[in-house]
Structure 1
Amino acid sequence: MNWQERIVIDKNVCHGKACIKGTRIMVSVILDNLAVGVTVPEILKSYPSLSQEDIFATLAYAAELARERVILLAA
């Protein structure tokens, strides 16, 4: 999955937050929905301009970010 083909960051769109290309749907909105258990079909129904590949791109983008930062957790 090449998330760069589907996710853009434009300082003039959504205050520079990562969005799905051609939309104002922020990656964080999709990830928040997934995190609380909203299913992919439910997200697609709520945001008809999205595709399943867009949702997979958000996960790939999040995985990329997770590889770049270490968060220390209390033991």
Structure 2
Amino acid sequence: MRTTATRARTVEYEVERVRLGRHVSRRAVRQLLTDHAEYGGWELTRLRRYADGTREVWIRRKIIKVMPSI
């Protein structure tokens, strides 16, 4: 009889911070984030717009670890 140990799975994320200047349009920001989500597997974590018009965007994606087969 073979028993398997239950392992607690914790999700780890890779986080990237992108700073966009005030000259970047809202449409361009939306397109950039859409492309990152669609092709890179990123999801929006936080978007912050400052008084001077610059934006700071935090995006993340899961780190997938492959478990060795026994």
Query: Which structure's relative contact order is higher, taking Cα pairs within 8 Å and 6+ residues apart?
Result: 2
Flag the structure with larger Rg. Answer: 2
**How does the TM-score come out when normalised to structure 1?**
0.27
**How does the TM-score come out when normalised to structure 2?**
0.28
Q: When you count strand as a share of all residues, which structure comes out higher? A: 2
